[in-house]
Amino acid sequence: MNKSIVILISGRGSNMQALLEAKLPCRVAAVISNKADAEGLNIAKAHGIPTAVVSHRDHPDRASFDTALAGIIDDFQPNFVILAGFMRILTADFVNRYKGRLINIHPSLLPSYGGLDTHERALKDGVKIHGCTVHFVTPDLDHGPIIIQAAVPVHCHDTPETLAKRVLREEHRIYLQAIRWLCKNQVELNDDGRVTLRHRKQIGFALISPSLE
């Protein structure tokens, strides 16, 4: 029986759209947003996916919002909860409720550049390689066990917008791959918090930026 996922969004949800358009070996049970005007809800409806809204503005604090959100998620009984541009910091109780089942994508090569404005910060620091990371969510923000990463070169004339566009292309690729692995039981989260991939070979090549002569 195919596994199921619930996707959480706050806006348009380009990663969500990429997931919906892919032939994933799982069922998308629902798309849930904390904003009623999130464009991604209309995209989900166009794909025939059930949607729900749990507005954080209707709750006095983060804990009560998370409790309400968890109640809606659990109605769909998903195997995994996928964060796709969900712009809320989740409480430790919520994260622990879905331990090993809560997945996020972040626009940097974690553990570098956790938090916001990752592309601006990378350019300011002059890094030559940037990228994105899919990871299990833990109470330690943007520091959960890493499933997969993609690296891209940083060009000398990049702006935050051009760099973000290059990274986003890779986000759409690796998030699909991570969820495929999860739904096929090919990813294992060990007791020590390390991720192993079953039956996967790792290719030993380097991305060097700027390139060697």
Q: Decide which of 35, 65, 98 is a domain's last residue.
A: 98
Which residue's entry shows tokens 């000398």? 156
Report pLDDT for 92. 97
Residue 202 has pLDDT above 80, yes or no: no
Task: Determine whether 106 is an active site residue.
Answer: yes
pLDDT grade, residue 207 (50/70/90)?
Answer: confident
Residue 19 has pLDDT above 80, yes or no: yes
- CATH at residue 201: 3.40.50.170
Residue 129 has pLDDT above 80, yes or no: yes
pLDDT grade, residue 181 (50/70/90)?
Answer: very high
Residue 199 has pLDDT above 80, yes or no: no
Q: What is the pLDDT of residues 81-108, one digit of tens each?
A: 999 999 999 999 999 999 999 999 999 9
113 in the same domain as 30:
no
Q: Decide which of 82, 98, 114 is a domain's last residue.
A: 98
Residue 29 has pLDDT above 80, yes or no: yes
- Selected catalytic residue, list 56, 59, 106, 199: 106
Q: How far apart are the first and last CA of the chain?
A: 52
Give the span between the Cα atoms of 132 and 137, in whole angstroms: 15
pTM: 0.94
Report pLDDT for 23. 84
| CA trace torsion 86, 89, 92, 98 (10° rounding) | 0
Domain range holding 78? 1-98
Residue 201 has pLDDT above 80, yes or no: no
Here the tokens at position 50 are: 């059930």
Residue 78 has pLDDT above 80, yes or no: yes
Overall number of domains in the chain: 2
Here the tokens at position 80 are: 């995994």
Q: How many residues does the structure list for the chain?
A: 213
SS in 3 state form for 56-124?
A: HHHCCCHHHHHHHHHHHHHHHCCCEEEECCCCCCCCHHHHHHCCCCEEEEECCCCCCCCCCCHHHHHHH
Here the tokens at position 203 are: 């290719």
